[in-house]
Structure formats: structure tokens, C-alpha cells
């Protein structure tokens, strides 16, 4: 049995990683999460009773608490997902992104280095930093792909802070020999996604008969990956990946934002006979709004390295994954209603309402 630290384990992808490890292995998981607005322990209800799962409410900027956690649990692996992750929020207020994504990663690296440098078996530890394809900037051609060699050119405060954290992680490897692996992934979607992001926002607005906002002309292209495929890839990388390497992770599912929204509307049109008043199709709710400043045009990942070297491929196509996702939101109304009305925040205080 190995011990995994998962930072940000109450978030969208982190909770999928925690569920994946608890449900599919015999390993122990320590979820280290500050519980910002994006952290939701209700995403972990199905595994929270496992005696292999422990939650620690800790800010990754708090060095002393991090040192205590390393001494208390002696982890084999750190999977670092804690971050501020929403581009629009980074434009409105970059401070938290600098604090958590850059300073927090630095504090975590230092705590990990302190712990690792005292280990007798230095090969028994890996630090896996989870990052985004947004560090590469955007692509203007229609066939270019981001590879692990693509140079960094981040556009938003979010992607710049993630790029910065990637550089710190590489420097800690090169300078101090800390055994690190980095992954850069494309856009994720799936269950338990906070409803400020495009796909859950579109599903929930449509069900409520509200407008479906699409930035600019909706021509921006993203490469979509089902979150459970990402969780599987991350587990594969941290256990089997080669130290010092970077792996790009993507779904081979490039879609224009407007086509994503239309696909969701088509699925809802099939599933919901009883439509909100005054509409024939959910597509009637689509509304184009002023584009996000600095909006990247196209992201697309070349995921051939992880496929060839570690044998990982996504199980879901966009068509299968988006259908599952819409069904999940229709069947799990209490999870998202408690997010929308703010009552999910009660569980972090033990109020449980």
C-alpha cells in the first residue's frame, strides 16, 4: 500500500483522482485542500467512509502545516492539483492566482524537498505537478498541435501563473534533483464540474430556461477530455511515468465552443420533452456575448507520447462523454443545486446542511 498526497482533492479533477485511487487500488489517499469556493467535499461522498481516505483542510501556502503533513503521513507520491483554475476570475483578480499557483507551488516544493532529502530511499518518492495546455498559448493553424517541446507563451493571468509553477517544478528537479513529473492537459469536462465553466453552465442554464452565453463568435477551439480519462492518465503517469519527463494529455476531441453548446442542446432536446416556455429547441437560448480579453483561439494536444510510452488512451469520445455528462447533471440535481444556492459550503464547517 502506497500513500498518495492529492492537493486540491476537493476540486473537479482532484476529486476524480481521489475517487479513482480509492475505488480502483488499495492505496491510501490524503486529500489536502483549503476548500476555496471551488472545493466541495460533497464530490467525495461515495468514498469518504473509506479508512484509506483522509481529509486535511490545509492551505498549500502554509509551510508549517505542510511540513507537519509530510512528517505525519510519509507519502510516496504527491499529486499536485490545488490551484485557482478559472480564467475569467484570473482576469478580474489575479492576486489569488499568483498566491496559490506560484507561491503555493513553491511552498509545496520546499516542503517536499525537505521531506525527500531526509529519505533513505530517495527513489521511493515522486512529485507530480498537474498543469494545463494553456501554458503554450494558442494555435492559429488548423493542424498544428502542442507537443512536449512547444515553447511556453501563456496569455492570461491563469495560464501565466501555471506556466510559472511549471518552471519552478523543473528548476527544483534540475537544481536539487527532486524527482518530478509534469503533465499538461487539455480542457476537462464531466461530473462534479463547478457550474461556472462552459459545459456545466450551459447544461444548467438550459434546464432553467436561461440564456446560454457564448463568448465572441464561438469559433474558439478546445480539445476536450472526459475527466475520468484524465484521472486514469494521471494515476498511470505518477506510478509508471519516468522521472524528469513531461507528458501531454488530450482527448483528440477538438470542438468549437459553439458546437459544444449546440451538441448539449441537441442532447437536451432529445431527453427533455417538456421544454421551457417559448422555445422549440434549447438552441433558441444561445446568446453571443462580448469576447473574453486575450481569448485564445485554438488549443490542441499531441498526446502520442503518453500513448506510446505508457499505453494510455482516452476511453470516451466527445459524443459518449458529453452524453454521460448531461445525464449525470440531470440525475444529480441535489449536488449542483447545493452548489448554486451555496449550501455545499456548509459541509466544510461540519454543518452538513
Q: Which residues bind ligand NAD (CB under 6 A)?
A: 7-8, 10-14, 33-36, 38-39, 59-61, 81-85, 100, 104, 130-132, 162, 185, 187-188, 194
Buried b (16+ CB within 10 A) or exposed e, 294-314: eebebbbbbbebbbeebebeb
Residue 160 C-beta: closest distance to ligand NAD, Å: 12
Pairing mode, strands 254-256 and 221-226: antiparallel
Quick one: which of 316, 313, 334 has its CA closest to 324?
A: 316
Residue 124 C-beta: closest distance to ligand NAD, Å: 25
Residue 313 C-beta: closest distance to ligand NAD, Å: 18
How far apart, in Å, are the Cα atoms of 104 and each of 17, 58, 238?
Answer: 20, 11, 20
269 is catalytic: no
- Residue number with CB closer to ligand NAD (12 or 125): 12
Q: State the residue number with the nearest CB to ligand NAD.
A: 11
What is the rounded CA–CA span in Å between residue 23 and residue 3? 15
- Residue number with CB closer to ligand NAD (199 or 285): 199
- Residue number with CB closer to ligand NAD (20 or 282): 20
What is the rounded CA–CA span in Å between residue 278 and residue 76? 57
- Residue number with CB closer to ligand NAD (36 or 325): 36
Note whether 184 and 131 are within 8 A (CB). yes
Catalytic residue among 33, 59, 134, 316: 134
Residue 306 C-beta: closest distance to ligand NAD, Å: 14
Catalytic residue among 33, 84, 133, 166: 133
Residue 36 C-beta: closest distance to ligand NAD, Å: 4
158 is catalytic: yes
134 is catalytic: yes
What is the rounded CA–CA span in Å between residue 138 and residue 177? 32
- Residue number with CB closer to ligand NAD (133 or 326): 133
Range list of β-strands (E), the chain: 3-7, 28-32, 53-56, 77-80, 126-132, 180-185, 187-189, 212-215, 221-226, 246-249, 254-256, 286-289
Q: How many CB atoms are closer than 10 A to CB 340?
A: 12
Catalytic residue among 158, 226, 235, 247: 158
How far apart, in Å, are the Cα atoms of 103 and each of 2, 5, 13, 107?
Answer: 28, 19, 21, 6
- Residue number with CB closer to ligand NAD (116 or 226): 226
Residue 178 C-beta: closest distance to ligand NAD, Å: 18
Quick one: which of 158, 40, 175, 183 has its CA closest to 100?
A: 158
Any idea which residues carry the catalytic annotation? 133-134, 158
Amino acid at each position: 500500500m502506497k500513500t498518495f498526497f492529492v492537493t486540491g482533492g476537493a476540486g473537479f479533477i482532484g476529486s476524480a483522482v481521489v475517487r479513482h485511487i480509492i475505488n480502483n487500488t488499495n492505496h491510501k489517499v490524503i486529500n489536502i485542500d483549503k476548500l476555496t469556493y471551488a472545493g466541495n467535499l460533497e464530490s467525495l461522498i461515495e468514498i469518504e467512509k473509506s479508512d484509506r481516505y483522509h481529509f486535511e483542510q490545509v492551505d498549500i501556502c502554509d509551510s508549517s502545516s505542510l511540513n507537519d503533513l509530510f512528517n505525519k503521513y510519509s507519502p510516496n507520491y504527491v499529486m499536485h492539483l490545488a490551484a485557482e483554475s478559472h480564467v475569467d476570475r484570473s482576469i478580474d483578480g489575479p492576486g489569488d492566482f499568483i498566491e496559490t499557483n506560484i507561491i503555493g507551488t513553491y511552498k509545496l516544493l520546499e516542503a517536499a524537498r525537505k521531506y525527500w532529502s531526509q529519505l533513505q530511499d530517495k527513489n521511493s518518492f515522486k512529485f507530480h505537478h498537474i498543469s494545463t495546455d494553456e501554458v503554450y498559448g494558442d494555435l492559429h493553424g488548423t493542424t498544428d498541435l502542442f507537443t512536449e517541446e512547444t515553447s511556453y507563451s501563456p496569455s492570461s493571468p491563469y495560464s501565466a501563473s501555471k506556466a510559472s509553477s511549471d518552471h519552478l517544478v523543473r528548476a527544483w528537479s534540475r537544481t536539487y534533483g527532486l524527482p518530478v513529473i509534469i503533465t499538461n492537459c487539455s480542457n476537462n469536462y464531466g461530473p462534479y464540474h463547478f457550474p461556472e465553466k462552459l459545459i456545466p453552465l450551459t447544461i444548467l442554464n438550459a434546464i432553467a430556461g436561461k440564456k446560454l452565453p457564448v463568448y465572441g463568435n464561438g469559433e474558439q477551439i478546445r480539445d476536450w477530455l472526459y475527466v475520468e480519462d484524465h484521472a486514469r492518465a494521471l494515476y498511470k503517469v505518477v506510478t509508471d511515468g519516468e522521472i524528469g519527463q513531461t507528458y501531454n494529455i488530450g482527448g483528440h476531441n477538438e470542438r468549437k465552443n459553439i458546437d459544444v453548446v449546440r451538441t448539449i442542446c441537441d442532447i437536451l432536446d432529445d431527453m427533455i420533452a417538456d421544454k421551457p416556455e417559448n422555445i422549440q429547441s434549447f438552441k433558441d437560448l444561445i446568446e453571443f456575448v462580448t469576447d473574453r480579453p486575450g481569448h485564445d483561439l485554438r488549443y490542441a494536444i499531441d498526446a502520442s507520447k503518453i500513448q506510446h510510452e505508457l499505453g494510455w488512451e482516452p476511453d470516451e469520445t466527445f459524443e459518449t462523454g458529453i452524453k454521460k455528462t448531461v445525464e449525470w447533471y440531470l440525475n444529480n440535481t441535489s449536488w449542483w443545486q447545493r452548489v448554486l444556492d451555496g449550501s455545499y459550503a456548509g459541509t466544510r464547517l461540519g454543518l452538513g446542511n
